[in-house]
Amino acid sequence: MSTAVQERGGGPMAGATLIAPLALPRTPSTPDPTRTYTCPECEHVLRVSGVGRHRVYFELTDERSSDPVMNRVCPACGCGLPGKNTP
């Protein structure tokens, strides 16, 4: 009588783990107040990314964060935005 040995999985490297892709975050209908900046002069609201001197400001309508406010002033009134070099 012969003894048969059965291998599971076909070999030492035949296993795989499937991981579901991460779900993209939903865009809330109202922005998170802790991640926004309201201009003290005109009350224009900007979305903020980063902290300290690494803060970057975006319009609320810029959902993909592709067009940052580059001149460090409020787009509505020209008041300086907080950061390293406030004009």
Say which residue, 15 or 86, is predicted with more confidence. Answer: 15
pLDDT for res 37: 93
Please report whether residue 59 resides in a domain: yes
Please check the confidence at residue 1 and state whether its pLDDT lies above 60.
no
Domain limits for position 38: 31-87
| Domain count of the fold of the chain | 1
Residue 87: per-residue pLDDT: 45
- The reply to whether 57 falls in a domain is yes
- List, for residues 16-32, the tens digit of each pLDDT value: 677 767 665 555 556 66
**Measuring CA to CA, how many Å separate 11 from each of 3, 8, 17, 19, 37?**
19, 7, 15, 22, 57
* pLDDT tens readout for residues 31-86: 666 799 999 999 999 999 988 888 999 999 998 889 999 999 999 999 999 886 54
